[in-house]
Structure 1
Amino acid sequence: MLKANEKAEVDIMDRLPTPFGLVRSGVAPDHPETKIVINQFSRVAKNDRCMFFGNVNLGASVSLKELQDLYHVVVLAYGAESDRVLGVPGEDLKGIYSAREFVWWYNGHPDCRNLAPDLESTDTAVILGQVASIMEDLAQGPLASISSMPKPGREGLLELLDDRKVTVLPFSAWEKIDSEEKQQGSLKHKPREKLSSWQELLKVGSE
């Protein structure tokens, strides 16, 4: 889009403090050839006409209707953030995890950092696979409206988020997080040691 229209501006919003979505949280660490696409994403994010807004939650920080009022085009690019209940007896027992939870856990996703699966008390694992399309319902309760009509585009979004006291992390904040993770990883002779709590990510990104 940035290549096709030299006047276009693209703003990217993410619920997490960090960018890259599934590449960071859904691709296993032993697939560096897939994760390398982060380099291309980073080049796009550093374009003067592109801005990243981390820690912005659609439906809480800002509503879909408000984004539609602010921008010419709104693209919702999201995956499943909840699990499909299969109705199998015992699926809620201790030691049973969905693929989403397990993948998020070993990738250091903040939502699953406390999962703590027991990987030492058994040498057996059972994997139940099922392909399904899960659509998330983004409709949430109405947000408090502001008294005046916001300015269009990025400027209006920033006014809304500032009015609601949302701590927005730009791409430069990700670069601080990236540097800190690599520094901590080097102390353990690893490529990186992921920060996996909201508090850590927000603290480092805001410094």
Structure 2
Amino acid sequence: MSKITIAIDGFSSTGKSTIAKQLAKTLAYSYVDSGAMYRAVTLYAMNHNYISESEFKPELLINDLDKINLKFIFNSSVGYGEIYLNDVNVEHEIRTLAVSKLVSKVAEISEVRKKLVEQQQLMGKNKGVIMDGRDIGTVVFPNAELKLFMNASAEKRAIRRYNELTKRGDKVSFDEILKNVEYRDHIDSTREDSPLVKAEDAIEIDNSNLGLEEQFYKIHQMVQEKLTSL
């Protein structure tokens, strides 16, 4: 059976990665978390004191882009590829609220986006890939056979993010999470380079009130219909 490219875009904390991982495992496709790549670049900038909540020196980060090596290495214990920054597994470090607060600023930089989009397109050149992010269906894979756009209310997404972080043991407040979700929505949707928009041919899924199983069944049916139509 022919393989397709599945592009999943949407706002933060809409469960893009969760559904992408489920589909990749079921279909035996490669999964690429494009957001992890931007988070890893953000972590690099933080570690080199190029960015903080009060200051950002984008020119220094741009000058260092050739020194940033990103790759995904499959971890059989979790069932997906974890991201490595210069040969160091940073899967845990990039999921902190500190990185979340700064990643949208880094993702605005055109030079960063250009570098990462090139890598993402290379990863998916042979199809059989599921990639999630903000501009996958509009910029990275505009010809993807199936495009999804995930959405949910800011409050629902903040609850999910809060539960995820507190479960890990991070000390955060719900109000802080909600403000971050709303802030990232604004930055992602209004940035000049590749803003978050729904592709014209994308199917929008509001999962504010959808359970994980119901959502997976619904989307898996869409995939099957697309595959059988080829």
Q: Name the TM-score, length of structure 1 as normaliser.
A: 0.27
Greater RCO, 1 or 2 (C-alpha within 8 Å, sep 6+): 2
Decide which structure has greater helix share.
2
Structure richer in strand, relative to its length: 2
TM-score by length of 2: 0.25
